Amino acid sequence: MKKTGSVVLGVLCLIVFAVPAMAQDANTVIASALKAMGDLRTVEFSATGYDFVLGQNYNGASPWPKFINKSYTRLIDFQTPASRVDRVRIQGENPPRGGGQQPVIGEQNQNQTIVVDANTPWVQQLEIWMMPHGFLKAATANNATVKQQTIGGKKYSVLTFMGQNKAPVKGFVNDQNLVERVETRIDNAFFGDMVFESVYSDFRDFGGVKFPMHIVQRQGDHPIFDLTVTNVKANSPVTIQAAPARGGGGAPAAAAGAPAPAVPVEKLGEGAYLILGGYACLAIEFKDHIVVIEGPQSEARAQAVIAEAKRLIPNKPIRYVVNTHTHIDHSSGLRAFVAEGATIITHQSNKTYLEKVLNAAHTLTPDVMSNSKNKPKFETTSDLKILTDGNRVVELHHMKDFGHHEGMLLVYLPKEKILLEADAYNPAAQPPTGASAVTSPYNLSLLDNVARLKLDVQRIIPVHYAADNRIITMAEVRRVSGRN
């Protein structure tokens, strides 16, 4: 018995002393990395390269579409903390493939300013804390732990701390004491617990500070940035001011408990309704059920559409939701429809991708589908699928030779002679007076497909609805495309 007691006491001692030893090891790793990389308080760096738009791929097997960063400048103040990015981007896919508001005509200026305060979302803060020096500061402040790991035959000291979203943030410190990779998970309405990873290489010395000359960020298994750094100014003064509030104060906030604003609705015909207030959706009444066309944007938008469809067409279940294509902004509400018990109708080329994405874990921010325990159900179409109960008819046509998305569906209501389309024609805020300076191949594809299918289209409903709520006709698309 004495021997057993001694063994137990020894094990307890090991447990007691393991925690401070581990903390000390983490502090040692951080100190060694700071010594090797230098004390970086502020940085201004320039780069060229590419950005890629998350969730806008041409098909499920494609990476996110690429845009060229003609110039890229970023300022970071790790002490405030704050970050500012200014970039000029141009079209990168020729011919255009995928979404992301392609094609970009000429040069497009973009900027982003983040000044961290108590209300700054964690995903924005990560833009600072996932930089190599930023990670070390965050690891110090958040009592990181460390373990040794070998990946591909290479040894790393892996520092880990818990992020504000309750997902671990890991930094991989190599044998030169450089932070080579930082990874975590963030919540995404479509992709769920999505991996967010930054990889750094080709470190060079700038006045005693080592900074990476190649930066690659990945989200959802594909790069979202690939930058080659051309110039670095370490610890020079930077000024980063929060962007001014838009609208000069804007409208007063809604009172707590106030009813949600009414969802704009237009009756298109008997049992056919256009639901606005976000991306355009349709609610179609059949004999014993409802079909909703498009499940876009977010869970909140989808729930608003579901509620409105049930109000307009009472006492009938939503049996189907038609997915025009799998881009993130058109599919991030699908999970709410799955929770409702609806079957997703989509092109057959989209099914495998949607199955994978919709079955991904959503543990960081559980949603209504997570809570419902429902699994996604599908019906697919190839070139044509007709939904009918003997009275109401809805035609689903596959768009051919359409660069925006391989599995795009057009939705045609023959009785009303109305065509719903997504991203083939996104109308400007004001009616066009003539042809565009550069004709979009997506516009031309819409005209070609309508002609090929011999559809009598009196009205087009773009999912990206016109800001002035005007009626869109084929004549407008022809005018913009120079095909009058």
Do 189 and 75 share a domain, yes or no?
yes
Do 210 and 96 share a domain, yes or no?
yes
- Judged against a pLDDT cut of 60, whether residue 256 lies above it is answered with no
Do 216 and 351 share a domain, yes or no?
no
> Kindly report the CA angle at 20 between 14 and 22, in degrees rounded to 5?
85
How far, CA to CA in Å, does 101 sit from each of 65, 401, 464, 477?
A: 10, 18, 11, 17
pLDDT band at 437 (very low <50, low <70, confident <90, very high): confident
- Judged against a pLDDT cut of 90, whether residue 258 lies above it is answered with no
Q: What is the CATH number for 272?
A: 3.60.15.10
* CB proximity list for 209: less than 8 A, separation 6 or greater: 37, 38, 39, 40, 43, 133, 234, 235
pLDDT band at 263 (very low <50, low <70, confident <90, very high): confident
Position 11 in a domain: no
Which pLDDT tens digit goes with each residue over 49-63?
999 999 999 999 999
pLDDT band at 484 (very low <50, low <70, confident <90, very high): confident
Q: What is the mean pLDDT of residues 374-385?
A: 98
- Judged against a pLDDT cut of 80, whether residue 262 lies above it is answered with no
- Judged against a pLDDT cut of 70, whether residue 91 lies above it is answered with yes
pLDDT band at 381 (very low <50, low <70, confident <90, very high): very high
Gyration radius (Cα) of the chain, Å: 27
Position 18 in a domain: no
The total number of structural domains that make up the chain? 2
Do 226 and 351 share a domain, yes or no?
no
Do 340 and 391 share a domain, yes or no?
yes
Q: What is the mean pLDDT of residues 246-272?
A: 67
- Judged against a pLDDT cut of 80, whether residue 18 lies above it is answered with no
Do 294 and 209 share a domain, yes or no?
no
Range of the domain at 207: 34-234
Position 84 in a domain: yes
Compute the distance between CA of residue 296 and CA of residue 334 in angstroms, rounded to an integer.
7
pLDDT band at 260 (very low <50, low <70, confident <90, very high): low
Which pLDDT tens digit goes with each residue over 25-49?
999 999 999 999 999 999 999 999 9
The residue among 234, 252, 284 that closes a domain is 234
- Judged against a pLDDT cut of 50, whether residue 11 lies above it is answered with no
Give the residue with greater pLDDT, 249 vs 348. 348
- Judged against a pLDDT cut of 90, whether residue 9 lies above it is answered with no
* CB proximity list for 294: less than 8 A, separation 6 or greater: 279, 280, 281, 282, 321, 322, 323, 324, 330, 420, 422, 463
Give the pLDDT score at 242: 85
* CB proximity list for 460: less than 8 A, separation 6 or greater: 418, 419, 420, 421, 425, 472, 473, 474, 476, 477
Position 21 in a domain: no
Position 25 in a domain: no
Range from 74-83, 376-385, 435-444 carrying the lowest mean pLDDT: 435-444
Give the pLDDT score at 17: 40
Do 211 and 337 share a domain, yes or no?
no
- Judged against a pLDDT cut of 90, whether residue 389 lies above it is answered with yes
Do 340 and 218 share a domain, yes or no?
no
Q: What is the CATH number for 150?
A: 2.50.20
- Judged against a pLDDT cut of 60, whether residue 248 lies above it is answered with no
Give this prediction's pTM.
0.90
pLDDT band at 87 (very low <50, low <70, confident <90, very high): very high
Q: What is the mean pLDDT of residues 393-398?
A: 98
Position 83 in a domain: yes
Position 251 in a domain: no
> Kindly report the CA angle at 386 between 384 and 389, in degrees rounded to 5?
175
Do 203 and 314 share a domain, yes or no?
no
Do 317 and 420 share a domain, yes or no?
yes
Q: What is the mean pLDDT of residues 12-30?
A: 59
Q: What is the mean pLDDT of residues 328-340?
A: 98
- Judged against a pLDDT cut of 90, whether residue 21 lies above it is answered with no
Compute the distance between CA of residue 42 and CA of residue 77 in angstroms, rounded to an integer.
5
Do 324 and 458 share a domain, yes or no?
yes
- Judged against a pLDDT cut of 60, whether residue 348 lies above it is answered with yes
343-347 and 378-381 strand pairing? parallel
Do 139 and 277 share a domain, yes or no?
no
- Judged against a pLDDT cut of 60, whether residue 2 lies above it is answered with no
Position 299 in a domain: yes
- Judged against a pLDDT cut of 70, whether residue 148 lies above it is answered with yes
Pair of tokens at residue 480: 């913009």
Q: Look-up: residue for tokens 């732990």?
A: 145
- Judged against a pLDDT cut of 50, whether residue 15 lies above it is answered with no
The residue among 211, 234, 257 that closes a domain is 234
Q: If you average pLDDT over every residue of the chain, what do you get?
A: 92
